[in-house]
Amino acid sequence: MTGKRRTESTPWYLVVPGVVAIAFLGLPLLGLLLIAPWGDLLPELTSEEALQALRLSLITSLSATGLALVVGVPLAVLMSRTRWFAGPWVRALVTLPLVLPPVVGGVALLAAFGRNGIAGGPLYELAGVQLPFTTLAVVIAEAFVAMPFLVITVDGALRSADRRLEQAAATLGASRWTVFRRVTLPLIAPSIAAGAVLAWARALGEFGATLTFAGSFPGVTRTLPLAIYAALDVQRSQAIALSLVLVIVSAVILVSLRGQFLAGMRR
Amino acid sequence: MRCTKALALALVAPLLALAACSGSSGADESTLTVSAAASLTESFTELATQFEADHPGTTVRLNFGGSSSLAEQVVSGAPVDVFASASRTTMDTVVEAGAAADDAPTFTTNSMTIAVPSANRANLTSIADLAKPGVRVAECAPEVPCGAAARKTLQNAGVTVTPVTLDPDVKTVLGRVAAGEVDAGLVYVTDIRTANVAAIPIPADVAATNEYAITVVKASPQQDLARQFVDFVAGPTGQQVLATYGFGTP
Amino acid sequence: MNGLSARIDVSRGDFRLHVDIVAAAGRITAVLGPNGSGKTTLLHTLAGLQPVDAGRIEISGRVLDDPAESVFVPAEHRRTGLVFQDFLLFPHLSVQANVEFGPRSLGLPEPARRATEWLDRLDVADLAERRPSALSGGQAQRVALARALAADPDMLLLDEPMAALDASTRVEVRRELRRHLREFTGPTLLVTHDPLDALVLADDVVVLESGRVSQSGTTDDVGRRPATSYVATLMGANLLHAIAVDGLATCTDGTTVAIPDRALRGEVIVVIRPEAIVLHRTPPEGSARNVWPVRVVDVETHLDRSLVQVAGPPDLAVAVTAASTRDLGLAPGMQLWASAKALDLDAYPRSD
């Protein structure tokens, strides 16, 4: 009904470039589907390396999402509620990992948490702790690139939320913490969920920062995207099978996210 | 006619096409197109300059890249006069395809060495030290040539090493060593010169060695000039220049 | 004193609110003013959402805000029940949970029972399980009032309680609200730009103009003796106390007025806006059911508009254009006819 009306009011000459855009985005995926080793899919995906990479990716991406939630939601609240955190510098800092090449992110993480990094150096000298090449490093790299998605989503939700509801809660005698817990948080819950899912999808697909900061070793740091890259030359069909898994999981996430967003708006 | 064919290929290799066009235009001027493995970048650039000085009127156009993709171009008829590969196996595919004008001799070698950060804080002195506990070693993944060579070298030395990372290429390994994030990395001898790292030599009988092969491309219209370049590289001057970059004599 | 006494001086950019307001316990005080007169700022300072720059807010002897004494009680400790213009019920909570919110936050005993009790007193107990999005405007207003009252406030503040409501339900809701506000024993402050709210709901009126109080007093006093033209225009509405039977209201002086609502019975207040009355030199023939012979007592002209006081019965204030004043040759002592259509009148029961 609404779709019909929209077609009528949209200039027809937008259809051609629109279809070109769809083809541009869709053809590579179609190609992937066509060259997929459908017959060998199950053995390829249940091989030791594949399962190892899948398991590692699942663990690290979920941990990265958890990390992003624990520190990202408070940051978003501060950004939307305090002048200092809302400043252009904090905003740029939070957005930066979105636009940086992930490899640069990896180099930056090494400069911070590497053995000679500003934080990693003392950590190594004093405690003997080395972050690079550990599974924790993978989680850090993934959280670094994924957190902006969560922070920006939640910050946006907080900004568009009605502050007067918080005022109403205060006049009813609710302390700041009660207001946050019982009013603010429930109001932005759909956005937190959406941001977390988005961040998880980004963490799942992380490659550059992970390779640079965490390395690539089966079972320890070689996540799905790294395993795909490693297998590309010699075990092409396995690489494609794994790629397929990543594409399907991401597609399901994005499709479900759309529903989530709409649900959040209808509230 | 020849130019038209080159233009058709330009879709795949635009630089090569340009080189071929200009090469056939001047009568006295001649341009020699050389495709060489990326690891030969520094040495061949120097050699080309010397060759041009020895042969006035000749311009050498250098085209560096991964050996296998360069080989693929040569076999599919790209206008290349000389092809130098970093691997015997890769050169074999060119010879088998009948694209080489000779039997493509080995002109130099490159072998494995241990790269350590300049500070060498782990105090490594030999290949056996790589097996010490707590020593962090980076290797190429066994699927790529440098990883295969690293694995073979360690096998030869009878040393069992658990690397912390299996990287997709030798540059990544070098980067980790240079940044001091690993205590050692297995790389090619020639890589040491270009990076900010120190080397711990591996005995010649232990270090895995890559053979570099060179050939005149069969389809080249300048067989004589191409032959002169190959001979120059394999000759005393060429060997001397290659040695300064860490390459070995075959 | 027992009630609210506030001396407020607060600036926001170019705007300055500088008022003294007193509101007695058990009485409803309307703060009447046009948009931009400082009504919202006033409510925010009273509720503790914004401190005063200078002055003192005190309720029944408890100081809530006084910069001179470095006292500022924040909103959550103030115990002021604030009913927002659009009610602002928490959309993620049921009606019951909304009303329980205050008692729970304050740690009052038996919050659930308390909430149920207030929902019951405001006749919305049957809506307890609903979400706010499933309420009508009038229902949401009652729930908001219940939510505010359940938190046991020392003072009740209402921000434009009628503004978010449908014009068609306003009369009905206003009538109910008047009854429900009587449930509260503390001072009630009601902020509005609609004089009808003040006339029907409030005992006292404070008129706010450009951040200052231009007049205050009982609703009747202010209506009878407007101090500024704004107040005159605003408060000029005629109020008639009458007994209604079958669409006919009989005033104490014997005048009868036809009213639109036939269902209304008993003591009522009939509100006739000055604009709704037409003056004629000869007895009018037409559809207007209310026609009274009157005598002009006073003519006061502000710019292009005149307010004419006529003596009946009933005594009425009539608004006419300055041009009509000239055309009719209006002057004190003139005998005229006044008419008003029944549909142009509002009638409310006197339920207190």
Residue extents of the structural domains in chain A: 1-35, 41-266
Residues C75, A170: C-beta atoms closer than 8 Å: yes
Per-residue model confidence (pLDDT) at position A254: 81
> Which architecture characterizes domain C238-349 according to CATH?
Beta Barrel (2.40)
Average pLDDT value for residue range C150-175: 83
Chain B residue with minimum CA distance to A116: B180
Residues C76, A168: C-beta atoms closer than 8 Å: no
Average pLDDT value for residue range B141-168: 90
Is the reported ipTM for this assembly greater than 0.95? no
Scanning A204-233 for CB atoms below 8 A from B yields: 211-212, 215-218, 220-222, 229-231, 233
**Chain B partners (3+ C-beta pairs within 8 A):** A
Fold of B111-209: D-Maltodextrin-Binding Protein; domain 2 (3.40.190)
Residues A114, B136: C-beta atoms closer than 8 Å: no
Residue B193 CA to residue B196 CA, distance in Å, equals 8
Mean pLDDT, chain B, integer: 85
Question: DSSP code of A261?
Answer: H
Contacts of C93 in chain A (CB under 8 A): 186
Residues A110, B179: C-beta atoms closer than 8 Å: yes
Residue B106 has pLDDT above 90, yes or no: yes
CB-nearest to C49 from A165, A167, A267 is A167
Where in chain B is CATH 3.40.190.10? 2-101+217-244, 111-209
pTM over the 0.90 mark: no
CATH classification number, C3-235, choose in 2.30.30.100, 3.40.50.300, 3.90.1170.50, 3.90.1720.10:
3.40.50.300
Scanning A102-161 for CB atoms below 8 A from B yields: 110, 114-116, 130, 132-133
CB-nearest to A230 from B163, B168, B181 is B168
Where in chain C is CATH 2.40.50.100? 238-349
Residue B20 CA to residue B221 CA, distance in Å, equals 10
Domain range A41-266, CATH class: mainly alpha
Contacts of C41 in chain A (CB under 8 A): none
Residues C47, A171: C-beta atoms closer than 8 Å: yes
Question: Which residues have CB under 8 Å from B53's CB, separation 6+?
Answer: none
**Chain A partners (3+ C-beta pairs within 8 A):** B, C
Task: Give residue A151's identity as a one-letter amino acid code.
Answer: V
Alpha helices (H) along B97-197 = 145-157, 170-178, 189-194
Contacts of C97 in chain A (CB under 8 A): none
| Residues B30, B57 contacting (CB under 8 angstroms) | yes
Q: Is the peptide bond before C260 cis (omega within 30 degrees of 0)?
A: no
CB-nearest to A110 from B165, B166, B181 is B181
Question: Which residues have CB under 8 Å from A169's CB, separation 6+?
Answer: A178, A179, A182, A183, C90, C101, C105
pLDDT in tens, A52-61: 999 999 999 9
Phi, psi at B188, each rounded to 5°: -85, 150
Alpha helices (H) along C205-275 = 219-224, 229-235
pLDDT in tens, A133-191: 999 999 999 999 999 999 999 999 998 888 899 999 999 999 999 999 999 999 999 99
CATH classification number, B2-101+217-244, choose in 3.90.226.10, 3.10.180.10, 3.40.190.10, 2.10.109.10:
3.40.190.10
Average pLDDT value for residue range C110-125: 92
Residue A238 has pLDDT above 60, yes or no: yes
Residue B12 has pLDDT above 50, yes or no: no
Residues B180, A133: C-beta atoms closer than 8 Å: no
**pLDDT > 90 fraction of chain A, expressed in percent and rounded:** 55
Where in chain C is CATH 3.40.50.300? 3-235
Give the A:C interface size as CB pairs under 8 Å: 66
Distance in Å, alpha carbon of C131 to nearest chain A alpha carbon: 11
